[in-house]
Each structure stands twice: as C-alpha cells, then as structure tokens.
A and B are shown apart, each in its own frame.
Chain A
C-alpha cells in the first residue's frame, strides 16, 4: 500500500480554463524517494504544494484524490486536513534566504512548530532541535540556535531547514528544488545530507527538481511532467538506461555532461515539443469527454 497515492489530480487557474495539473496520478511508497522532474512551469512544484495544502490562492483543484496514509485529504474539512498534513508531512523549501524569519533566532523557529502545533514540551523540543542540528553536521548547535539567519551562510541555513523538516519525524517530505539556489559544491553536501537523513529516518520524499543529475543521485523513481501531464513514471535504473518517452530522451540529451568532450547541448527539439503538446491536447479532450459523460 502506498503511503501517498495521488489519483487523477487536476487543477486549474481560478476562473480561467488554463489547466495547471492534468489528471496526475502517482504513488509513493513509505520510505521511497520519488523525483518530480520537468521544465519550469511543468507543474512539479504545484503537485508538492497540493499535497501540503499550500497551493496559491489563484489555483483551485478541480478533481482527483490525494490519499495520504489511507485518507483522502481533499475530503477532509480544512482544519482537520491542516492538522493531518502538519503531523505527517514537512517541507524543505528552495530558498534558504526567505524561508527563515529574519527577525527571530534559529532555535525558536525550529522548536515553535513542535511546541505549538504538535504539543511537545519545550524541553523535549529543544533537545530534539539540538540533536537534529548535530545530525545535519552543524558543529556548535547551541550557538547556531541562538543566532539569527543573516549571521549564517546559505549552506548552513539550508541545513537548518533540513533539520527543521525532519524534526517531527514526518512520514513524507516535499523537497521543492532544495539545491537550485546553491552552488555545486554546497549542493553536493546538501544532497548527501538529505540522502543520509532519509536513510536514517526512513522518510518518503517527493523530490522536485529540474536537474536530472540530481535526480539520479537521490531518487529511486521519478515522474516526468510536462504542462501538468505525467509523461513517464518509472524507476531510476530504467529511466537512465533508456527513457521511453521522446520528451524524456530530449531532456536527457539537453543535460550537459562534462565527461563528454564534444558534448553538444541540444535543447528539446521543436518536433518533440509539438508532439508532447499534441499529447497534452489529447489528454485535455479525454478529460472533457469524461466530464461530459459523467
């Protein structure tokens, strides 16, 4: 039984016909690391936001189910849904700069969630925070807990966010492009950290990224998205051995490999884009037909 089961999830912009998600279906088992890849605007971030209940005001879910640990989140009343998500899920955000409150010390930012929402005692929360900071290889947790975000480097802030995400032992973490804003050496440290933490805590991760290199290092399976439509859904081995979908192949070809001396960077060819767009249009027609027949 999958821990997270998204079935035919569709979403669009409020009051407009533009579809953001097109009958997205995917399954994530407990402890599995699933990658969501695609270009910017493909909807991969939106899936994560839909699961966490943080979709922007302008986007509305038009159909489908998000089944988390057996319960469809979309059928729950908002307050119950938020509590459920808070207990089971967490987020590792993209930008370590804006994700931390600049006017509060680090310590309260980690412990507050545990104390206020999950009803831990302050002492337990602080011990937990300290342990986690040590776990993410911060050498002086007490000093860091007393610091403000601007006193710390980008890499350290991202570690704090990771620690924060694992604090309440969530069953599912949505990592929304967690290393896109970091330079390549820091990215490596952070990815390894996430992989280690995941292995140790057994958390499932929905890993959103546009970088296929990153996906091949952290994930066990991936879904390729284009314009809100899932094009391919497969294991990492199978994908990198030879992707089935033409668009996936094109993405792989576009990724620069420094080991390739003549590496030509071929952007996704127009023909592939046209074919994929046709596929999206066909999916839209199928969805409308189903809507009419219901």
Chain B
C-alpha cells in the first residue's frame, strides 16, 4: 500500500536557531573581545564608579551597561569573561565527554571484566560529594584554568559513563549487532560502527549539557574566589562583586547573571535541537 514512508524534511526549530544564535554570538564576542570591547576590562576609574547603563539618567557615554564600584566597564568585562567561560566549557566539556563516553561504551558493550572494573570505578567515584571534591582538588592543585578543567573532568566523567553504558547495553542486545557478528565484524569494529551511531544522539545532548554545567561550575568557583588567580574578569567573580552593591548598582549583578543564564540555557537547548534536526530516526 505504501511505497515506504516519504522522507520528511524537518524545518529549523526555534530552539535550535535561538540557542545556536546566542552561542555563535558569544563565541564571536569572545574571540573578538580585544577588538570590540569598548573599554579596557581592567581599567579602573574611581570617578566613574557605579555608573548606570546607557538608558538611565546619569549614564556615562561609552559605558553601555554601566560600571562597577571600581569604575570598570561592565560590558567589556562580560565580553572578556566570555573567553574564560567558553574555554572552560569547550575543553572541560569535550574531555569529560571523550573520557566518560569511551569508558561507558566499553563497559556497556564489551561487558565482562571490563564492565566490572569500570562500573566499580564509577560507583566509588560517585560516592564522593562533588562540590567538596572539587574544592579539595583545587586546593591541592592550586587555582588556575587547568585546575578547573581537571576538576570538572575528574568529577563529571561518571555522568557520561553511566548513561552511555546503559545505552550501549541496550543497543548491544539488538539483532543488528548479532547480524554484524554473523557478517564477521570484530567486537571493536562493531562497537564503533554499529553501536556508536546509535548512542551518538545521547552523547551530543550530554555534551552540550556538560558544557553548560562547566560554565556554572566555573562561575561557582570564581564566585568563591577559587577560580583563576589573575585579575581577568570572570562572570562568577562579577556576580560576587555585584552582590555587595546590588541595591546601589543592580546592573553589576544582573547583566553577568543574565548572560550566564542565557549561555547555560542555550547549551542545553542546542543539544536537543541538534538531535531533533539531524538524528535520522524520528521519535
């Protein structure tokens, strides 16, 4: 009756467009910050402290989102803060993904002793309270970009591993894996050619989620002053500073907070949006 089912072309979903746009904007801003930032993010001018954003009365021209209590331009600091946030997101997120997904895939598909070893590792690892663990790590490694990345990877790889292991196990029971064996494929080849494409949508969603988490973790760490040791602006640091003057200069807290929120939201929506658009299997 049917000549198969017609290929349905999927339109660009709003969530993919919006999240993609925000993140592209952010990446561009981060890359071009030295050229497009209106002011030097570190330059202090105590005479221009706590100037409101451009639309309010008493605003100082050129400082579009206002200044903080030391007279530093909020907009420029946000742009430069994006560099750190995105660096952490991309590096920590990717490393966590690669390590966690690989171990999860191996445990779920190869089973046997490999699975027992990796599963025990995950169980023991997850027994540590994450926040305490990260603070401990930073204390041992000393503050800095590398430390933050290591801390995130070391703690969060288990998230990937657990989920991907479960998916790989489910996929491993499917007949197309048996079919690959009958055709003569090796275990490793089957894992990469047959299983991986089917767990990839989950990996993508988890990866973007992890990027969002990395941004938050960095913000938390810089909020408690455990992040990078230099004076470079960080969103978390700005939020910490803005907290103290929130009644006199709300913009110092609100703008980095909103940027942080939009960035994390965009990351999570990006993953889902990509899956909806590109995964050949319609759900």
Contacts and interface: CB of A to CB of B under 8 A. Distances in A.
Interface string B1-41: 11000000000000000000000000000000000000000
Range of interface residues on A (Cβ < 8 Å): under 10
Contacts, number: 6
Interface residues of B, number: 2
Interface of A: 39, 41-42, 226-227
A39 B2 CA distance: 11
6 shortest interchain CB distances as A-B pairs: A41-B1, A227-B1, A41-B2, A39-B1, A42-B1, A226-B1
Nearest to A38: B1
A41 B2 CA distance: 8
6 contacts: A39-B1, A41-B1, A41-B2, A42-B1, A226-B1, A227-B1
A199 to B, nearest CB: 35
For chain B, what secondary structure do more than half of its interface residues adopt (helix, strand, loop), or is it mixed? loop
For chain A, what secondary structure do more than half of its interface residues adopt (helix, strand, loop), or is it mixed? loop
Contacts of A227: 1
B218 to A, nearest CB: 39
Nearest to A42: B1
Contacts of A39: 1
Contacts of A226: 1
B51 to A, nearest CB: 53
B2 to A, nearest CB: 6
Nearest to A276: B1
Interface in B98-116: none
A226 B2 CA distance: 12
Interface in B171-218: none
Contacts of B2: 41
A227 B1 CA distance: 7
A112 B2 CA distance: 40
Contacts of B1: 39, 41-42, 226-227
Nearest to A39: B1
B9 to A, nearest CB: 14
Contacts of A42: 1
Nearest to B2: A41
A42 B2 CA distance: 10
A42 B1 CA distance: 8
A39 B1 CA distance: 9
A293 B1 CA distance: 30
Nearest to A280: B1
Nearest to A40: B1
A225 to B, nearest CB: 11
Nearest to B1: A41
A46 to B, nearest CB: 13
A37 to B, nearest CB: 14
Contacts of A41: 1-2
A275 to B, nearest CB: 14
A41 B1 CA distance: 8
A11 B257 CA distance: 50
B193 to A, nearest CB: 29
A267 B53 CA distance: 77
A126 B73 CA distance: 73
A227 B3 CA distance: 13
A227 B2 CA distance: 9
A25 B185 CA distance: 54
Interface in B52-90: none
A236 B263 CA distance: 66
Nearest to A277: B1
B94 to A, nearest CB: 37
A81 B265 CA distance: 41
B173 to A, nearest CB: 14
B18 to A, nearest CB: 24
A67 B2 CA distance: 31
